[in-house]
Every structure is written in C-alpha cells, then in structure tokens.
Structure 1
Amino acid sequence: MSSKLYVGNLSFETTEIDLQDTFAEAGTVSEVALMQDKFTGKSRGFAFVTMSTAEEGQKAISLFHGKTVQGRALTVNEARPREDRTGGGPRREFSGGNRPDRRY
C-alpha cells in the first residue's frame, strides 16, 4: 500500500524533478505533486510525494524531516485528508435591525 507524504517549507526554486530525485533515496516514488499558485504558477512552498509502500514512506520521513535542502529545513510527515472548508462562519438571519420585539 502506498504512502502519501506532505513535504513543507520547500524553497520556491524546488521542482518536481528535484523532489523525485531526493525522495528516491528512500525508495520508489510513485507521484510528486508540487503545489503552485493558480494565478502566477509559482510554487506555494509545499508538495505531496507518494511513496510506493508504507515502509518507504516511513523511511522518507526519518531521512528527510528536518533535513536542509536548498537552504530550508524540510517538514515531512504523513499527509492528512483535506479538511472540509465550508465558506466562513455561521449564517445569521437579520430582521430589521436591533428593534425590541413589541407585541401589544
């Protein structure tokens, strides 16, 4: 079973090929997804790397978490599922301002 890893604190010059080559030291890399800004196309400083087995994923975490790559100490851990992000806080009904309820 594969292991998906979150890799954070990346240099903005890091490429998917750089990550592929780096994480290949820990085993077979199935996929690399470098997150980019949708408007500028520039790196957002984090990526997801999928290792082919859970053991290789754990090895990659132990090898690269805290390791300095391109002048930055990497954060490497198991990726968590994306949290559901509903748009903002609770909805409230407004009914005409702050008038007291007057019933006669």
Structure 2
Amino acid sequence: MNIYIGNLEYGVTENDLRDAFGEFGEVSSANIITDKFTGRSKGFGFVEMPNDGEANEAIEALNDSDLNGRSIKVNQARPREERPSRPRY
C-alpha cells in the first residue's frame, strides 16, 4: 500500500520515515518529495508498505501524531489526478 505523509518538518529524512513506519512492519520504500530547483523538502512524502494490514495499522497510529515537532497527516495515497497539460511557449 502506498501511504501519503503530509505536514512534514523540512528536516525529516527518508530514514526518519523508514524508522517511524518500520515499527509497524516492512517498509519497501520511503520518499520525501523535494523541489526540483532547490532540492528542499516540500513537506510531504510517501511510504510503500507491502502488507496492507500493517499499513493500515501504521496509518491509524501515526495520523495526527508528532514527528520532529510537527503533527503529521497520514492516509492512503490516492492516484494523482491527470492535470491538463499547459501549453509551452
């Protein structure tokens, strides 16, 4: 299951996410989304957990919990909606 984590403190690392979610089961990947120009965190990321039961347990336990001083939002990631392409000039 792909899990969305929002409201991350900008200093949170992918290893921090692995550690937090790893308490509930196997984490196959952890990604923090960064600005492509500055490389700075955009304040959200994704964790992939192969076992849905463990993933749901992690979502329940970690949603609205504190990570590095901020209350994080955790839920099942939804597929990204297709956005109309913008014309390039």
Give me the TM-score of the superposition, normalised by structure 2.
Answer: 0.93
| More helix by percentage | 2
Q: Larger Rg: 1 or 2?
A: 1
- Which structure has more relative contact order (CA 8 Å, sep 6+)? It is 2
User: Stretches of 4+ moved more than 6 A in 1?
Assistant: none
AA of the residue aligned to 1:13: G
Give the Cα separation in 1 of the matches to 2:46 and 2:17.
10
Q: How many residues align?
A: 86
Q: Which runs of 5+ in 2 are unaligned?
A: none
2:38 matches 1:50: no
Give the Cα separation in 2 of the matches to 1:80 and 1:74.
17
**What are the superposed Cα offsets for residues 18-43 of structure 1, whole Å, 9 maximum, x if unpaired?**
11111101110011111000000000
Q: Give the CA RMSD over aligned residues.
A: 0.9
| Map of 2:60 onto structure 1 | 62
Aligned-residue sequence identity (percent) comes to 44
Q: Which runs of 5+ in 1 are unaligned?
A: 89-104
2:80 matches 1:82: yes
Give me the TM-score of the superposition, normalised by structure 1.
Answer: 0.80
